[in-house]
Structure 1
Amino acid sequence: MSSLNSHQTLLLLIATMSLAEGSDIVLDPEYCGISKKTRSTVKTCPVDEASWLKAANQMDCSKYDGKCSGNLKYHCLINPWQNETVQVCAPPTRIRSGYCAEYNTRGGKVQEFYINNCKACSRDYQSTEAYKYQECYSQVYKQTHRQTLQSTQPTNGHLTKYPQSPMGERKAKSPPMLRNTSIGSNVHSQVVNVCAACILQLITKIIGT
Structure 2
Amino acid sequence: MYIFSQLTVLNLCLLFFVLHDLMKTSEASDSCDVSKTTFENVDNCPDSEEKIREAAARKNCAAYSNRCSEPDKLEYHCVLDPYVTQKLEVCAYKQNILGGHCTEYNIGGNLIQSSRKANCSSFLQSPCPDVYPSTDAYKYSGCYNLTQTDTKQPKYTTVYRTNGKAMDRSASRKQISVNVMALLIADVTVTLVVL
TM-score range for the pair, normalised by the shorter chain length: 0.5 to 0.7
Q: How far apart in 2 are the matches of 1:99 and 1:11? A: 34
- Name the residue aligned to 2:192: none
Q: Deviations over 1:159-179 (max 9, x none)?
A: xxxxx74x4448xxx5x6435
Q: Which moved more, 1:106-115 or 1:77-86?
A: 106-115
Match of 1:78? 80
Does structure 2 retain, via aligned residues, the 8 Å contact 1:99–1:112? yes
**What is aligned with 1:102?**
104
**Take 1:97 and 1:195, find their aligned partners in 2: how far apart are those partners?**
28
Q: Count residues with an aligned counterpart.
A: 171
What's the TM-score once normalised by structure 2's chain length? 0.62
Q: Which residue number in structure 1 is paired with residue 51 of structure 2?
A: 51
Deviation of the 1:132 alpha carbon: 2.2
SS in 2 for 1:62: helix
User: 1:2-13 alignment to 2 at 5 Å?
Assistant: 5=12, 8=15
Structure 1 vs Structure 2 CA RMSD: 4.2
Q: Which structure would you say has the larger RCO, counting Cα contacts within 8 Å and 6 or more residues apart? A: 1
Candidates 145, 160, 171, aligned match of 1:178:
160
Q: Which runs of 5+ in 1 are unaligned?
A: 18-25, 148-163
Does structure 2 conserve the Cα–Cα contact (< 8 Å) formed by 1:30 and 1:69?
Answer: no
- Overall identity of the aligned pairs, in %: 25
Query: Which residue number in structure 2 is paired with residue 42 of structure 1?
Result: 42
Q: Do the aligned partners of 1:73 and 1:128 also contact (CA within 8 Å) in 2?
A: yes
Residues 1:116 and 2:123 aligned together = no
Instruction: Please report the TM-score for the alignment, with normalisation by the length of structure 1.
Output: 0.58
Give the distance between the partners of 1:129 and 1:46, measured in 2 at CA. Answer: 11
CA–CA distance in structure 1, aligned partners of residues 30 and 58 of structure 2? 24
Say which structure is richer in helix: 2
